[in-house]
Amino acid sequence: MRELTYAQALREAMAEEMERDNSVFIMGEDVGIFGGCFGVTGDLCKRFGEDRVRDTPITETAIVGSAVGAAMTGSRPVVEIMFSSFMGVAMDEIFNQAAKMCYMTGGQAKVPLVIRTAAGAGIGTAAQHSERIEAWHVHIPGLKVAYPSTPADAKGLLKTAIRDDNPVIFFEHILLYNHKGEVPEEKNFFIPFGKADIKRAGKDLTVVATGILVTHALKAAEELAKEGIELEVIDPRTLVPFDKETVLNSVKKTGKLIIATEETKRGSFASEVSAVVAEEGLFLLKQPIKRVCAPDTPVPFSSVLEKAYLPGSEKIIAAVKEMV
C-alpha cells in the first residue's frame, strides 16, 4: 500500500470531501497560499480557490464563531486553529455556542463543524504554543473529540468528522505531521468514531495511549517484549465518544492498566479513563492504575527541561516495571 505522511493524509481527506460536497470549506490563519503553518492545507487553495480555502485575519474568535453560523445555515466548515494553545481565544464560541446550540434549541440546530488544531510539545515552542487541552473539550457536552496517532487514522477520522452533523474537535500532534504510514486509497475509507484500535496485542499489561503517546507506548512495548513482557497498546482514537468496552475487555485479560497521555496529569483525559475503569472494572484490576502524564506545570522552553518534562517510552517502561 502507498505511504503518506500524517499531514498528507489529512489534506487528502479534506480534498476528497471538498470534491464530493461543495458545502465543505476551509478557513483559518495562513491556510491559503501559505499552505498552513504545518503545511497541512498545502495546495488546496490552488485547487479549490480562495472562496473555499479562506485565509482569515488573526481572529480566532471570529473564525470559530463564524464557523458556527456557517454550519447552522448549511455549510460544513473545517477550520484550522494554528496551535491548540490559541483555542482559549475562541473558547466562548466553542463551549457556549458550538457545543450547546443543538441542545439549547431543542434539537433544531445542526452544527457540522470541524476544528482542526495542532497540539502538543516537543519542538521547543514553550508554554503558549504547546498545549494539550484534550480534557477541556472532553468535559464539554455536545462536542466530539478525535485524536489520531497514525496517517491512516488521520485520514479516516477526518473524513468521518467532516460528515458528522456535530462539532468535532480534531487534535493533531505537531510531532506526528511528518510521520509516514500506509493509507488506503479508496475514497470510502472511514474510521468510525467510538471505536478504539488495538495497536499491539499483549497479555501482561494494558496501556491506553493517545496521540504521540501511542508511538511512545509501541516503542516501550517493543523494548519490553525483549524481556518477555507483552503490552497491549490501545488507542481510543476518539476521546468522545470513548470506546470503554475495548479497554475493559483488555483489562479483564491483563488485570493491569497504565494510561499514557501527554497532558498535565490533574483533571486529564487519563483521569477520566482511570475513573471509568475504577467505576466499571475495579475488580478486574490486580493492581492500582497508573497514569503516565506530564507534571502539573506549563511546558518549559529549554530542550533539556522539555525532554525531562514530557512523558515518553522511558517513563512508560519505568511505570510498567513497577507493576510487573
Partner 1 sequence: MRESKEKLFDLLESMLVIREFESTVQKHFAAGEIPGFVHLYSGEEAVAVGACSALKENDYITSTHRGHGHLLARGGDVKKMMAEIFGKATGYNKGKGGSMHIADLNLGILGANGIVGAGLPIAVGSGITSQILGTDSVTVCFFGDGASNRGTFHEAINMASIWNLPVVFVCENNMYGISMPQYTSDGRKSQNIKDVSDRAVAYGISGVTVDGNDVMAVREAVVEAVKKARNGGGPSLVECKTYRHRGHFEGDPAVYRSKEEEEQWKKKDPINRFVKLLKDQELFDDQEYSELKEKVAGEIADALKFAQESPEPDLSEVTTDVYYGGGVE
Examine residue 41 and tell whether it contacts partner 1 (CB under 8 A): no
Position 275 contacts partner 1 (CB under 8 A) = no
- List the grid coordinates of 302: 529549554
Q: What minimum distance in Å lies between the beta carbon of 12 and partner 1?
A: 21
Peptide bond into 241 cis (omega under 30): yes
Helical residues (DSSP H) of 43-85, grouped into ranges: 44-48, 60-72
Distance separating alpha carbons of residues 250 and 281, to the nearest angstrom:
11
> Given 129, 137, 173, 216, which residue is catalytic?
129
CA distance 152 to 111: 26
Within 128-157, which residues bind partner 1 (CB under 8 A)? 141-142, 144
Alpha carbons 153 and 171: distance in angstroms, whole number:
12
Q: Which residue has the cell 512523558?
A: 311
Binding mask of the shown chain, residues 182 to 211, with x at each position contacting partner 1 by CB under 8 A: ------------x-----------------
Interacting span for partner 1 (CB under 8 A) from 7-15, 19-27, 36-44, 221-229: 19-27
Does residue 102 touch partner 1 according to CB under 8 A?
Answer: yes
* DSSP classification of residue 59: -
2, with CB counted inside 10 A (0-12, 13-18, 19+), is exposed
Is residue 137 annotated as a catalytic residue, yes or no? Answer: no
Q: Does 120 bind partner 1 (CB under 8 A)?
A: no
**Residues noted as catalytic:** 129
Contact footprint for partner 1 (CB under 8 A)? 22-23, 25, 27, 51-52, 54, 56-57, 59, 61-62, 64-75, 77, 92-93, 96-97, 101-111, 141-142, 144, 165-166, 194, 240-242
